[in-house]
Chain A
């Protein structure tokens, strides 16, 4: 498989690129949107953080042959379409680009093809140049990342996101370790464990905190999603073949080691997720691949003014999108996990709808999505909601922590320090962040934000209502810079803006 052709990174002084549509993210949703928009006649610029398209779901490398992948033929077909449009000049793919801001069109300009968004990115993780793209329509398909719960020892090397272990395998053909425990909650754990087992790792256990057999309590939705059953059954069969025990209603409540992971403590949970005393067992492991569901990456959308809605647990946000995947900002579309966690099939579908709608926004004659597509999207969304409902994350996990447990990895803030801040009067998520600094490091609270909010809510004096949406959203989701940006890149962005103002184009912001 060849290396992926893409544009050179950050040519200085280049000025912004112009295209009809900008797509942010080249995973299932982003690739589908780009192809759909190109097919409808648009010029498309795709900006993606990765070196190769495919996102996280289709993470691949030169050695990939589909063995460890899902839907490989579908991906190859999509990649071939994408490549064809690239060769024809309709799609420009900017790999290694970290989009940090999307400026909506200037106030006062009505919606339409002439009012332009500006997408700003750091060009190249190594090169760190500046790139800007002006487009009439923007599709944000930035996917989601895994939710983590802090536990004692979770910062030990060898403890990683379940998706990280899978990315090593799919992208670099590397097995993360010799003896792996896969833990957390959600349908993602099974394919991760099955893939690792297939690649030759000893998977000591799959530790699922919930009881997914509650699927059976919702037979109607299950019946509608019958296509998914063979997939799930296949994973279970593979795990059985490799003699991987699957524990439900259990969690890894501590990790142990001396500078690297050596073992984990597994315990049974009660329905509120407090651990059942006396149920603790130790398992040897050099890798803990862990994840508790997914959190949509919606910062760019929120900062551009798009309406967001709270997820079921009240601690994550997803973008509101209409039937054509358009957000509350005209010309700004969201597709894939950004509209709510729903899996790769739904992402591809939403991407197609968004790409076509973006083309329509740019003035191309494209029919809106037909009833069959609408029905299928609704069915996939229902299935996603069903999976969400059987994999909740109740706040009882906060009882697994000790005062010394690191809650914020970037700033190394312990539980004790966080609780001391709450006791001082910093008793909402935003205030606790300002005083004790969890969420003030490089990741800006992506990893710890939901956890900090749960801890603060649980610790403050009872009877106090939880902070409003603005408070929590501001402390956790509002990120004016969606990626770290070299100061010289910020300076260049302002200079380019100033140059354009002098040349007479209308002032942006």
Chain B
């Protein structure tokens, strides 16, 4: 008899300034994909979009900035209540360029 999954509360996060309500236990990458955004990062040389690649932390395509920490692997990281997520070009250090 398959057990009934417990109902999942949502968490509220901000992505590039927009408010998202995402099921708890979802990875940040899953949150993007579920909303129809297969890509959320631009490469640094060609400014081409990237998103979920390997899904397990090996390819570093899925990077986002989370609460100021740059280059976070979205596929490995669950959403947390109040997360402020910004999308990146390269690895997200553009504001430090001189």
A and B in direct contact, judged by CB atoms within 8 A: yes
Residues of A participating in the B interface, judged by any CB pair closer than 8 Å: 1, 3, 49-51, 56, 61-67, 96, 98, 125-126, 128, 145-146, 155-158, 160-161, 163-168, 171-174, 176-177, 259-261, 286-287, 297, 409-412, 441-443, 446-447, 484
Is B27 interfacial (CB-CB < 8 Å)? yes
- Among B34-90, those with CB < 8 Å from A are 34, 38-40, 43, 45-46, 48-61, 66-67, 69, 71-73, 75-78
**Measured between C-beta atoms, what is the minimum distance from B2 to chain A in Å?**
5
| Cβ contacts A to B, 9 pairs, < 8 Å | A49-B76, A51-B76, A63-B5, A157-B49, A167-B75, A174-B34, A259-B49, A260-B39, A443-B60
Interface centre among B34, B59, B73 (most CB of A within 10 A): B59
Is the Cβ of A62 less than 8 Å from the Cβ of B8? yes
- Given the interface pairs A125-B73, A446-B59, the reply to whether A161 lies near B53 with Cβ below 8 Å is yes
Is the Cβ of B59 less than 8 Å from the Cβ of A163? no
Is the Cβ of B33 less than 8 Å from the Cβ of A174? yes
- Given the interface pairs A125-B73, A174-B33, A260-B39, the reply to whether A62 lies near B52 with Cβ below 8 Å is no
- Given the interface pairs A168-B30, A174-B33, the reply to whether A160 lies near B24 with Cβ below 8 Å is no
Rounded to whole angstroms, the CA-CA distance of A410 and B59 in the bound complex is 8
Residues in A neighbouring B46, C-beta threshold 8 A: 412
**Measured between C-beta atoms, what is the minimum distance from B39 to chain A in Å?**
3
Residues of B participating in the A interface, judged by any CB pair closer than 8 Å: 2-6, 8, 23-27, 29-30, 33-34, 38-40, 43, 45-46, 48-61, 66-67, 69, 71-73, 75-78, 91
Residues in A neighbouring B72, C-beta threshold 8 A: 125-126
Residues in A neighbouring B33, C-beta threshold 8 A: 168, 174, 176-177
Is the Cβ of B55 less than 8 Å from the Cβ of A442? no
Residues in B neighbouring A443, C-beta threshold 8 A: 58-60
Taking CB as reference atom, which chain B residue is nearest A55?
A: B56
Is the Cβ of B55 less than 8 Å from the Cβ of A161? yes
Rounded to whole angstroms, the CA-CA distance of A50 and B46 in the bound complex is 31
Residues in B neighbouring A156, C-beta threshold 8 A: 39, 49
Is the Cβ of B23 less than 8 Å from the Cβ of A173? yes
Is the Cβ of A442 less than 8 Å from the Cβ of B76? no
Residues in A neighbouring B77, C-beta threshold 8 A: 51, 125-126
Is the Cβ of B6 less than 8 Å from the Cβ of A1? yes
**Measured between C-beta atoms, what is the minimum distance from A236 to chain B in Å?**
23
Taking CB as reference atom, which chain A residue is nearest B27?
A: A172
Is the Cβ of B39 less than 8 Å from the Cβ of A259? yes
- Given the interface pairs A63-B23, A164-B75, the reply to whether A158 lies near B38 with Cβ below 8 Å is yes
Is the Cβ of A65 less than 8 Å from the Cβ of B60? no
Taking CB as reference atom, which chain A residue is nearest B91?
A: A442
- Given the interface pairs A157-B49, A172-B30, A174-B26, the reply to whether A65 lies near B56 with Cβ below 8 Å is no
- Given the interface pairs A50-B76, A126-B66, A126-B77, the reply to whether A64 lies near B49 with Cβ below 8 Å is no
**Measured between C-beta atoms, what is the minimum distance from A469 to chain B in Å?**
23
**Measured between C-beta atoms, what is the minimum distance from B85 to chain A in Å?**
11
Is the Cβ of A62 less than 8 Å from the Cβ of B6? yes
Residues in A neighbouring B2, C-beta threshold 8 A: 65-67
Rounded to whole angstroms, the CA-CA distance of A209 and B45 in the bound complex is 33
Residues in B neighbouring A3, C-beta threshold 8 A: 25
Taking CB as reference atom, which chain A residue is nearest B53?
A: A160
